[in-house]
Amino acid sequence: MQLATAVRRATRADAPALAELVNRAYALECFFVDGDRTTAAEIAQMIERGAFLVLEYEQGLAGAVFVEHRGYFGMLSVAPEVQGFGLGTRLVRIAEAYCEALGCTTMDIRIVNVRENLARWYRSLGYQEVGTAPYTHRPVKIPCHFIEMRKQLGSVTAVAA
């Protein structure tokens, strides 16, 4: 299998495929929420206010990440059949570089507290917990909240050095 070698910015025409990818990647959240993570209509709206950066492979979309120009990313998604090959880390690095090129000095994310492995993974990528926020996106089966995390981007370190 040939894994993705190039990244591109998604267009509105990609919204249905992106929604399918995100929902497949987030299906493991069924233990605390019901229903799909997103819709093609929501993805199309998000494309208007930011960018979905996607990696493709021979079967379609291998992964995607939504990036807002203020230094935020979310909906990091990797197709289940290609998870474990470093595509998630690659997409995070791409999102960081994208925002850094726009002049951002920090990158913010939100993760759900009940997915404990995510906090460890993001800490390994240099993110630190900076706060919490209510989880209001979908009805929940168990109590949960967002953990807000932040990372200083490279230009800050380079200036300080």
CATH number of the domain bearing residue 136:
3.40.630.30
Region 119-133: mean pLDDT is 97
Count of the separate structural domains present in the chain? 1
Q: What is the mean pLDDT of the chain?
A: 92
Tell whether 122 is covered by a domain: yes
Do residues 67 and 98 lie in contact, with contact meaning Cβ atoms separated by under 8 Å?
yes
43 occurs within a structural domain: yes
**Averaged pLDDT, 111-125:** 95
Is position 124 within any domain? yes
Is residue 130 domain-resident?
A: yes
pLDDT tens per residue across span 1-49: 566 667 999 999 999 999 999 999 999 999 999 889 999 999 999 999 9
Neighbours of 110 (CB within 10 A): 17
Q: Is residue 2 part of a domain?
A: no
Residue 71 pLDDT exceeds 50: yes
Structural domain includes residue 1: no
Domain that holds residue 115: 7-160
- What are the tens digits of pLDDT across the range 73-100? 999 999 999 999 999 999 999 999 999 9
Q: Which of 18-22, 29-33, 66-70, 157-161 has the lowest mean pLDDT?
A: 157-161
| Phi, psi for residue 74 in degrees, rounded to 5 | -160, 180
pTM attached to this predicted model: 0.91
DSSP state string for the chain? -PPP--EEE--GGGHHHHHHHHHHHTGGGGGTB-S-S--HHHHHHHHHHSEEEEEEETTEEEEEEEEETTTEEEEEEE-GGGTTSSHHHHHHHHHHHHHHHTT-SEEEEEEETT-HHHHHHHHHTT-EEEEEEE--SS-BSS--EEEEEEEE-HHHHHHH-
